[in-house]
Chains A and B, each alone.
Chain A
Amino acid sequence: MQDNTFELGGKRLSSRLFIGTGKYASDSMIPDVCRSTGACVITVALRRVDFNAITDNVMQHIPSHMQLMPNTSGARTADEAIRIARLARATGCGNWIKIEVITDNKYLLPDGYQTAKATEVLTKEGFAVFPYINPDLYVARDLVNAGAVAIMPLGAPIGTNRGLRTEEMIHILIDDINLPIIVDAGIGKPSHACQAMEAGADACLVNTAIATSEDPILMGKAFAEAVRAGRHAFLAKSGGTSQLAQASSPLTGFIQNNEGLS
């Protein structure tokens, strides 16, 4: 089955791998990473952007064809996230906004309640809202009702590279939530991204694992291939797995044999 593009927030996208802009040794790597990943969506923390910078500015390294997904990193409340989103739009970053509201700096886990509040306000203002959450079904349902464009559940705490620790919960969201599911945070290796896509996630957002690798350009390519492979595996519908072996001489085979004899 062909699956070269997909639609999200009113845009047709040619890659299911989304990337970030943080943690690079140099922002000048970003164009090469965009190329090697083939990504067309990139998230950027507004708090780090200095539109009047006399020094280097991350925005000047983002290729013009990329779909910007500004994020509200640093927001501790819904109000702060809302203010950051409005500033993003006012400064020409478009109407996509990834809501990050984190009230715990020790674990950097998102606050579902504040995120839902911000989402409700911003969707009414015409933003395409991408909320970053713990994979919690009830929060996800609130976000659907609030008008979110997609749900972005974490695979593991941000920056940990520990993979899909929340896999079972993400499966529930994939099954139950009728919005695109974009797995964000915790993905440390291409195989993790592949696993998420095989399970039916619509896309993955990967930053730390690419930005902090020894070769971000090559790692970006590896992630792109893993995301594609995972998506293809999902579409191909794998044969499924079983805890039990399929015996070549089944114990119940005699039933059919006996019936055949009678």
Chain B
Amino acid sequence: MSFFPVYEQYKNMGIENIISDINQHSVLRSLNKNILTIEDFAALISPSALPFLEQIAQKSHDITRRNFGNTIQLFTPMYLSNYCNNRCLYCGFNRDTQIERYQMSLDEIDNEARVIASTGLKHILILTGDAPKKASISYLKSCCDVLKQYFSSISIEIYALDKKGYEDLIQSGVDGLTIYQETYNTDLYDNLHPTGPKKNYQFRMDAPQCGAEAGMRNVTIGTLLGLDDWRKDILFTALHASWLENHYPETEISIALPRIRPYYGYYQPEHQVTDQDMVQMIVAIRLFLPRCGITISTRENESFRNNILKLGVTKMSAGSSTAVGGHSLSNTQHNQFEISDTRTVEQMVLFLEQNNIQPVFKDWERF
């Protein structure tokens, strides 16, 4: 069982034409339904839905408030290692990029964890490049032993694994998996990943379900917005999330919406994703997948993040650094990409509280 055949079925339907042919009558019909199909989702992300964006946003706000309350879950990423065997054209850790490579020792991780935990955060997302011999499962398990002392929830954003790999990490205390397909356009995917293990498109596509089968409590998927036409990529993301929800009901499925940011390199995205586009996809996801988590990172700027808080977002990173040891090491490492919202956790918390939104630091415990 795999999402891949479902993906292929829709891919062959000519999604772009379906979306562009949707009329306002279809949008209104979808907007007024309680349970939406993927066809309704296509209507809500279509250009024909733009005149109804405020109405969709109001409905999204109501659904979000009912299901998640007036709250935002906070977390922060911790970069453990930037060694990488891939040549992803859009990534600052691309193996061809001339940057200093570094992997934190367990003592350094302990220091980094202490600094992050002092902000009150209890959920951590650990990241590595795709270098399994360097940032091995065994290394990651040792990291988790350290991190468990500081954080109640540990998620991973690392190279794709099979079910057994994820089971090993769950045994060590990991409960969440974030993995991006980057784009659901197979030809573009092939071009963007010239060599390296990540070139295997289907292995990556199967990783979220391997994580769910292994017992991950949370699985977050997404694409890097801007690589392809956002409407196509978000439609497949929503289809994938819905498929995961239906096949792995025990797992909380979330969608993260990273918009491509500048990095130490030269890749220029071909597709622009505007703020309006971001809003349209957030509110459409909420109507289609009422209980799905929606994550917005510090890639987005302060003003945008402030304004989308009540639209449907449920999780936000805060106080982020995208460099290895970025919170505690004295020698500055290169960032994977530039962050845009540079507020500290304390500043973020203050803003949320002033806007009647409760920052949630802890939502799980390893009982």
Contact = CB atoms under 8 A, between A and B. Distances in A.
Contact of A105 (B70, B120, B250, B362): B250
A152 B353 CA distance: 33
Given A27-B358, A50-B122, A105 B69 contact: no
Interface in B344-367: 349, 353, 356-358, 360-365, 367
Nearest to A79: B367
Interface stretch (A17-25, A175-183, A190-198, A235-243): A17-25
A22 B246 CA distance: 26
A24 B70 CA distance: 6
A94 interface: no
B252 interface: yes
A23 B249 contact: no
Nearest to A111: B250
Contacts of A172: none
Contacts of B246: 106
A224 to B, nearest CB: 21
B365 A46 contact: yes
Interface residues of A, number: 32
Contacts of B360: 48
Contacts of A105: 245, 249-253, 291
Most central of A53, A84, A105 by chain B CB within 10 Å: A105
A81 to B, nearest CB: 9
Contacts of B251: 105
B118 to A, nearest CB: 7
Interface in B229-253: 245-246, 249-253
Interface stretch (B50-58, B60-68, B279-287): B60-68
Contacts of B364: 47, 74
Interface string A65-106: 000000000101000100110010000000000000001111
Given A27-B358, A161-B66, A212-B69, A106 B245 contact: yes
A208 B66 contact: yes
A8 interface: no
B67 A25 contact: no
A26 interface: yes
A106 B365 contact: no
Contact of A87 (B65, B69, B358, B367): B367
Given A25-B358, A53-B362, A83-B367, A212 B249 contact: no
B250 A23 contact: no
Q: Interface on chain B toward A: helix, strand, loop, or mixed SS?
A: loop
A53 B367 contact: no
A208 B62 CA distance: 12
B68 A23 contact: yes
A212 B245 contact: no
Given A24-B358, A46-B365, A47-B365, A211 B249 contact: no
A22 B250 contact: no
Contacts of A31: none
A47 B122 CA distance: 12
B71 interface: yes
A54 B120 contact: yes
Nearest to B68: A23
Contacts of A25: 70, 356-358
B250 A103 contact: yes
Interface string A135-165: 0000000000000000000000001110000
A7 to B, nearest CB: 31
B363 A106 contact: no
Contacts of B178: none
A55 interface: yes
Given A80-B367, A160-B66, A161-B66, A48 B356 contact: no
A159 B120 contact: no
Given A80-B367, A212-B70, A26 B362 contact: no
B30 interface: no
Nearest to B355: A25
Given A104-B250, A105-B251, A53 B358 contact: no
B48 interface: no
Contacts of A106: 245-246, 249, 291
11 contacts: A23-B65, A24-B69, A25-B357, A48-B362, A50-B122, A53-B120, A54-B120, A55-B349, A76-B217, A87-B367, A106-B245
Interface of A: 22-27, 46-50, 53-55, 74, 76, 80, 83-84, 87, 103-108, 159-161, 208, 211-212
Lowest 9 A-B CB distances belong to which pairs? A23-B69, A55-B120, A25-B70, A25-B356, A104-B249, A83-B367, A50-B362, A212-B65, A159-B67
